[in-house]
């Protein structure tokens, strides 16, 4: 494994957190069909989730990745670093689906909403942080696991 791959694996939680934050400002987060035979669809950008008091869970979409980025720099939280980096992505993943349902229940979305580009990017970043956090929490050497898997796949060819 080359040095860039090793650095990427070691910083998977940072990369995922940055993707999560950027996803809030890239494209739309949720989209919905207003129903009634209308051709267009409604959309909801991620930044509106952060600054909208109607959806308090949306504020956590920026707090969770920001906390993941700084947890190892705050002395009082360092002892809980592995737990936070494993638990916070699970919480934000739950909020992602709860907020989707909450938006779908509003009158504007006509009873259904779906993920748009921003939510898919948020989900990708969330999975990266979750994998890194789970590896750290369960004391799994992620680099070694990836090396073992690639060796097994090469030997099968």
pLDDT digit string, tens, across residues 83-122: 999 999 999 999 999 888 877 676 555 567 788 899 999 9
At 32 the three-state DSSP class reads strand
pLDDT band at 82 (very low <50, low <70, confident <90, very high): very high
pLDDT at 121: 96
Closest CA to 103 of 36, 54, 38, 41: 54
State pLDDT tens for residues 8-51. 999 999 999 999 999 999 888 888 765 554 545 677 788 888 87
Range of weakest confidence among 8-12, 33-37, 53-57, 124-128:
33-37
From the number of C-beta atoms within 10 Å of its C-beta (0-12, 13-18, 19+), residue 9 rates as: buried
Residue 75 binned pLDDT confidence (cut-offs 50, 70, 90): very high
The domain made up of 12-152 has a fold known as Butyryl-CoA Dehydrogenase, subunit A; domain 3 (1.20.140)
Greater confidence, 54 or 66?
66
**Rounded to an integer, what distance in angstroms lies between the CA atom of residue 78 and that of residue 127?**
22
- Sequence spans of domains, the chain: 12-152
Q: What are phi and psi of 114, to 5 degrees?
A: -135, 165
What token pair was written down for 150?
């690639």
Q: pLDDT at position 113, please?
A: 76
The pTM of this model reads: 0.86
């Amino acid at each position: 494994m080359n040095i860039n791959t090793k650095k990427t694996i070691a910083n998977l939680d940072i990369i995922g957190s940055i993707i999560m934050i950027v996803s809030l400002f890239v494209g739309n987060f949720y989209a919905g069909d207003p129903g009634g035979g209308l051709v267009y669809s409604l959309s909801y950008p991620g930044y509106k989730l952060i600054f909208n008091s109607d959806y308090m869970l949306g504020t956590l979409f920026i707090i969770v990745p920001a906390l993941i980025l700084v947890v190892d720099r705050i002395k009082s939280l360092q002892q809980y670093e592995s737990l936070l980096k494993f638990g916070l992505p699970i919480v934000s993943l739950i909020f992602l689906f709860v907020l989707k349902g909450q938006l779908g229940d509003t009158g504007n979305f006509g009873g259904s909403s779906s993920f748009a580009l921003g939510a898919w990017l948020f989900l990708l970043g969330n999975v990266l942080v979750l994998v890194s956090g789970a590896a750290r929490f369960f004391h799994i050497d992620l680099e070694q696991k990836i090396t073992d898997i690639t060796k097994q796949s090469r030997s099968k060819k």
